[in-house]
């Protein structure tokens, strides 16, 4: 697996030109990365032939790789896919929320940042899900299903253990899956309240997106969960393919928007031209599109 993760396929003429012969490409080859170049039209066949671990695909108003990516992901659900898009075309990314993207990279600066910050060497971090459920068989079921689709899963079996595990975790999960009813003095809602407001283990966390996976769906529980900022309720038993996976994909996509918005608003990524300074407005527009589409 480690060897495969060093094989990167680039699909799209413009990003190939941006990387080809650059100092960045030379530095990456020194680190052991191997590159293969493909057209969008030939990407599906070339993925099968080259067997990359990572696929970097160009998205623009002149190129729409959605059907190609659907075909590739249906055969290779574990493949890590990045979209590379110009800031002025970023709104197009709304049509790709369901494809388990690792990240959306703004060309050219964020593509370079992805390599420099070793995003391509730790792709699973953007699909990192922590499951909190006292039913160990349920957790194993989730883990097997999601691991096959490229998600990294960790778990806790009580709310108190979850607080400790999350505090000690090297990386914060993108998505938290919580059961409500659990043994001990703390249930899932009390755990979420501590996560949102802060406790002895960690600082307040308003960013981690939360999916409540539970058999308890009372009006009071729904109101309390909404107040604490959950993404969705999934009633047990959950249809993993038809219910959980779409919710998880959407939650991860929303988190990418949060991170991108923060990076640009706080200067985390240095804009390379004036158009990129408009990214916060574009991100907000994209958020509204998602809200209206999935309300």
Q: pLDDT higher for 295 or 154?
A: 154
Q: Determine the average pLDDT of the residues in 15-42.
A: 76
CA–centroid distance for 281 within its chain: 21
Q: pLDDT higher for 105 or 50?
A: 50
Instruction: Return the structure tokens found at 123.
Output: 């792709």
Q: What is the model's pLDDT at position 8?
A: 84
Sheet holding 128-132, edge to edge: 152-156, 128-132, 175-178, 209-214, 232-235
Going by C-beta distance under 8 Å and a sequence separation of 6 or more, which residues neighbour residue 295? Answer: none
Its pTM stands at: 0.63
Q: Determine the average pLDDT of the residues in 68-92.
A: 83
pLDDT tens readout for residues 188-222: 889 988 888 876 556 777 778 888 887 776 778 87
Q: What is the model's pLDDT at position 157?
A: 92
Which domains are assigned to the chain? 4-121+260-285 (3.40.50.2300), 124-230 (3.40.50.2300)
Query: What is the end-to-end Cα distance of the chain in Å, rounded?
Result: 39
Q: What is the model's pLDDT at position 45?
A: 93
Q: What is the model's pLDDT at position 114?
A: 53
**DSSP states of 146-211 as a string?**
HHTTT-EEEEESSHHHHHHHHHH-SS--SEEEE-S--SSS--HHHHHHHHHH--SSS-----SEEE
Confidence at 177, pLDDT banded by 50, 70, 90:
very high
179, 133 Cβ separation under 8 angstroms: yes
């Amino acid at each position: 697996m480690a060897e495969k993760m060093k094989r990167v396929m680039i699909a799209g003429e413009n990003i190939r030109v941006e990387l080809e012969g650059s100092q960045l490409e030379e530095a990456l080859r020194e680190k052991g990365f191997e590159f293969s170049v493909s057209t969008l039209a030939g990407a599906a066949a070339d993925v099968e032939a080259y067997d990359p671990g990572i696929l970097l695909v160009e998205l623009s108003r002149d190129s729409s790789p959605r059907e190609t990516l659907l075909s590739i992901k249906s055969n290779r659900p574990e493949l890590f896919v990045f979209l590379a898009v110009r800031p002025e075309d970023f709104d197009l990314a709304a049509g790709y929320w369901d494809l388990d993207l690792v990240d959306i990279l703004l060309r050219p600066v964020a593509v370079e940042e992805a390599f420099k910050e070793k995003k391509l060497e730790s792709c699973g971090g953007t699909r990192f899900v922590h499951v909190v459920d006292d039913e160990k068989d349920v957790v194993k079921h989730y883990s097997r299903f999601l691991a096959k689709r490229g998600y990294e899963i960790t778990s806790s079996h009580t709310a108190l253990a979850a607080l400790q595990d999350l505090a000690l975790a090297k990386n914060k999960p993108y998505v938290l899956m919580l059961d409500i009813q659990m043994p001990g003095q703390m249930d899932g809602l009390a755990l979420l309240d501590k996560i949102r407001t802060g406790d002895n283990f960690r600082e307040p966390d308003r960013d981690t997106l939360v999916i409540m996976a539970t058999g308890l769906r009372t009006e009071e529980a729904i109101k309390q969960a909404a107040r604490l900022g959950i993404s969705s309720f999934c009633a047990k038993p959950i249809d993993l393919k038809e219910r959980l996976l779409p919710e998880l994909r959407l939650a991860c996509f929303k988190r990418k928007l949060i991170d991108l918005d923060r990076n640009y608003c706080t200067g985390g990524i240095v804009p390379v031209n004036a158009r990129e300074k408009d990214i916060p407005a574009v991100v907000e527009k994209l958020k509204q599109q998602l809200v209206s589409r999935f309300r």
